[in-house]
Structure 1
Amino acid sequence: MQLDDLYRRVIMDHYKNPRNRGTFGDEAVTVNLNNPTCGDRISLQLLIEDDKIIDAKYTGEGCSISMSSASMMTEAVKGRTYEEALDIATRFSALMKGEDVQFDEYEEIEALSGVNKFPARIKCATLAWNALRKGIGEDSSTN
C-alpha cells in the first residue's frame, strides 16, 4: 500500500468516525471559528484545569480535511499542558508549510502532510488548530 493511500484512509477514517465530536456544558472554554472561503465551521470546546487541557470536543461542518484535522487535534491535545499543546500546534503549522515534522505522540497527524501541496486546503486543515490557539489564549493569526 502506498503511503498516500494510507494517509487518505486515515483522513477518511477520522472524517467518517470522528473522535471527540460533541459538546460539554457551560464549564468549557468555547471557540467558534469559520473559514469564509469554503464555509467550514468549527465550535471547539476545551475543559481546562490548571493550564492543562483535560478534555476537548468539537462540532462543526466542513470538508473531510477540516473535520479530520479537528478529530486528530482533539485526540492529540487531550491531557496536555498549554505548552505541550502549543508545541504540537507549532509543529502542525510547520507541517502545513511543507517542513518534515514528526509527531511521535500522535502520528496520525502526519496523514495531513499532503495538504501543503494544495494551498487552498491549508486553511481547512488549520481551522481547528487556530481555534485551539485562541482557546488557550494564543494569537491564531500566527498560523
Structure 2
Amino acid sequence: MSDLGQLYQQIILDHSRKRSGEGLTSKPAQHVAENHQYNPTCGDDIIVRVHLDDGGERIDSLTWEGDGCSISMAAASVLAEMSPGMTLEEFHAMVDHFRQMLRSRGTEEPDEEVLGDAAAFAGVSKYVARVKCAMLAWVAAEEASRDAATVVR
C-alpha cells in the first residue's frame, strides 16, 4: 500500500474511533432539519441534523447519530467536522465532488482542496458495495440542509 493509501486508511480509522459530531444536538435555531437514511444491504442507519445560521445561508452545525460500519461512521464524522461555516452553495458543491469521486470506481483522483479529509474515501470507490456506506451520511446531510433552508421556526 502506498504512503498516501496508508494515510487515507488511518484517517478513516481515526474518525471511526473518535467521532466528530456524534450525538444530535438541539439548540434554538430558525433553520433546522434532520434526515434519516438506512442502507438495507449492510444495516447502516443514520440520522443527520443540520442547523443553519439565522439567515439560512451557512451551516452552523451538523450532528448525527447512527450505527454502522467504520466507513459510514467515519464518513459522518468527517462531514460533521468539515461542514460548519460553509455556505450552502459550498456545502452542496463539496457533496457533489464527494459523490463524483465515489462513483468514479477509482478512476478519478480526489481534489483535496475541495474535499479535505473526505479525500480519504477515494479508495472506497473501487468497492461498489461500500459506496453507499460512505455516501449515507452525506445524502442525509444534503437532504437535511435543503429542508433546513426552507423551514423557518
Do the structures match in fold with TM over 0.5?
yes
Higher RCO structure (Cα 8 Å, ≥6 apart): 2
Provide the aligned length of Structure 1 versus Structure 2.
138
**Alignment partner of 2:146: what SS?**
coil
Letter in 1 for 2:113: D
**Is 1:121–2:135 an aligned residue pair?**
no
- Tell me, which stretches of 5 or more residues in structure 2 are unaligned? 148-153
Query: In 1, distance between residues paired with 2:63 and 2:145?
Result: 14
After superposition, give the CA deviation of every residue in 1:34-92 in whole Å (9 maximum; x if it has no partner). Answer: 11111001110111122211011111000010000001111121111110100000000
Letter in 2 for 1:119: V
For residue 103 of structure 1, report the CA deviation from its aligned partner: 2.9
For residue 106 of structure 1, report the CA deviation from its aligned partner: 5.1
- Tell me, which stretches of 5 or more residues in structure 1 are unaligned? 139-143
Q: Which residue of 2 aligns with 1:141?
A: none
Distance 1:15 1:24, change over 3 A: same
**Alignment partner of 2:24: what SS?**
coil
**Is 1:82–2:88 an aligned residue pair?**
yes
Retained in 1: the 8 A contact 2:98–2:115?
Answer: no
- Show the 5 A alignment for 1:31-70: 31-49=35-53, 50=55, 51-70=57-76
Retained in 2: the 8 A contact 1:20–1:75?
Answer: yes
Q: Which residue of 2 aligns with 1:137?
A: 146
TM-score for the superposition, normalised by structure 2:
0.84
For residue 134 of structure 1, report the CA deviation from its aligned partner: 0.7
Query: In 1, distance between residues paired with 2:144 and 2:116?
Result: 23
Retained in 1: the 8 A contact 2:97–2:115?
Answer: no
Retained in 2: the 8 A contact 1:29–1:47?
Answer: yes
* Aligned residues: CA RMSD: 1.6
Q: Which residue of 2 aligns with 1:18?
A: 19
Query: In 2, distance between residues paired with 1:128 and 1:34?
Result: 9
**Stretches (4+) displaced over 4 A:** none
Larger Rg: 2
Q: Which residue of 2 aligns with 1:5?
A: 6
**Alignment partner of 1:136: what SS?**
helix
Identity %: 32
Deviates more, 1:32-41 or 1:94-103: 94-103
